[in-house]
Amino acid sequence: MNVQKKIERFPKIDLHCHLDGSVRPETILEIALKEDIHVPTTKIEAFKQHTQVAEDCSSLKEYLSKFALTSDVMQKSEYIYRITDELLEDLSNENVKYIEIRFAPFLHMEKGMTFEEAVESVLKAMEEGKEKYGILSKLILICMRRHSPEVSVQIVEKGKAYLGKGVVAIDLAGNEHDFPPELHKKAFQLAKEYGFHRTVHAGETGIPKNIITAVEELKAERIGHGIHAYLNEEILEFVKEKKIPLEMCISSNVQTKAVEGFEDHPIKKYLDEGIAVTINTDNITVSNTTLAKEYEILMNKQGFTLEDIKQTIINGINASFASNEEKEELTGIFKEEFFKL
């Protein structure tokens, strides 16, 4: 069996996948037409250009523009259920065994849907997906940096009703430059008190000190991206000492120009230095990627071996917000499938 076939058959895990960035283009187009939402074209191949970035994506601004239509079609619970179900179906075809899906409920409440309807739509699809597709999935609720700290507190207060029912954590995402993590400190302290796990997008766009702030003040257990820790030796040592897992998303980081190219990404340096790096998709549709593609990129551009890939997958199990029993079960499944390969 060649390396590519092995990669395709690898059991996989994804800890950093945004629901609204991972919607089938065909579904976006179909819902938009049904809901009379303006679309630039009805030709699916041309339409994909408005939902996916090209290889020569020039900036974060261009990257974020691909979410416009997705937000518009995710304003009804039936559509959120469908989109979640389709994502799990697609992942099952890639032998993904475990995924933590994240989404920001308040972004889907613009046309009357309630917080509860949005969250329960995802959870229902996830629960049914476990039976249909054999994928264990968990939900992370996102607090948006640009929203007021009070909204973040609301997410924690409302979200605690779903702890133990599929929701495992909260996240902070959005514009790092203008909205530092400490603005949302109260929500994250409350989240810890209630029993939420915590992850924070930090050090993604060139502000490495946000990593320390996220861990010390927001009590983050994992860091989303964390690319720029290497810019400051003190911060890199902090990540090592505290054993903070990093949710790394290679294609996305290159496309948003967080790094210049695949060869410039610090993931191999981090792995070699013993940091618990994990490989994730970020936005499957927008980045036009899969976990297998991410693995291949790392092997071709950074010299990753199959053993390196396996180590990042093991890191993912250990860093996941699954229960200890679920981690043991996943470890057994992964060891068995690795052995077969």
Count CB-CB contacts under 10 A for residue 75: 19
Q: Is 128 exposed, middle or buried (0-12, 13-18, 19+ CB in 10 A)?
A: middle
Task: Please tell me the CATH code under which domain 3-340 is placed.
Answer: 3.20.20.140
Contact (CB, 8 A) for 254 and 262? yes
Record the pTM. Answer: 0.97
Three-state SS string over 213-277 comes to HHHHCCCCCEEEECHHHHHCHHHHHHHHHHCCCEEECHHHHHHCCCCCCHHHCCHHHHHHCCCCE
Would you tell me how many other CB atoms lie within 10 Å of the CB of residue 50? 16
**Any idea how long the chain is?**
341
User: DSSP labels for 53-72?
Assistant: --TT---HHHHHHTTHHHHH
DSSP H or E segment with residue 205: none
pLDDT 10s digits, 10-49 = 999 999 999 999 999 999 999 999 999 999 999 999 999 9
Question: 170, 159 in Cβ contact below 8 A?
Answer: yes
- pLDDT 10s digits, 227-264: 999 999 999 999 999 999 999 999 999 999 999 999 99
Provide the mean pLDDT of the chain: 95
Catalytic residues: 204
Domain boundaries, the chain: 3-340
Q: What percent of the chain has pLDDT over 70?
A: 100
| 17: phi then psi, degrees, rounded to nearest 5 | -135, 115
Instruction: Check pLDDT > 90 for residue 140.
Output: yes
Q: SS3 for 288?
A: coil
pLDDT for 28 equals 98
- 131-145, 202-216, 277-291, 312-326 — which is least confidently predicted? 202-216
pLDDT of residue 205: 82
